[in-house]
Amino acid sequence: MMSSVNIVAADHSNAIWNNEVPLNVSLFAWRLLRNRLPTTNNLIRRHILHHNAQLCVGGYDVMEDIDHLFLS
pTM: 0.63
29 & 49 share domain: no
Chain segment 43-71, per-residue pLDDT in tens: 888 888 877 765 666 666 666 777 676 66
pLDDT band of residue 27 (cuts 50, 70, 90) is very high
26 & 47 share domain: no
Q: Is the pLDDT of residue 2 over 50?
A: no
48 & 59 share domain: yes
Q: How far apart are CA 4 and CA 65, in angstroms?
A: 17
2 & 32 share domain: yes
48 & 62 share domain: yes
Instruction: Return the higher-pLDDT residue of 10 and 38.
Output: 38
6 & 29 share domain: yes
What mean pLDDT do residues 38-45 have? 84
Q: Residue 23 has what pLDDT?
A: 96
- Using an 8 Å Cβ cutoff, are 41 and 63 in contact? yes
Fill in the DSSP letter of residue 69: H
Q: How far apart are CA 69 and CA 72, in angstroms?
A: 6
48 & 31 share domain: no
Full domain range(s) for residue 6: 1-36
In the chain, how many domains are there?
Answer: 2
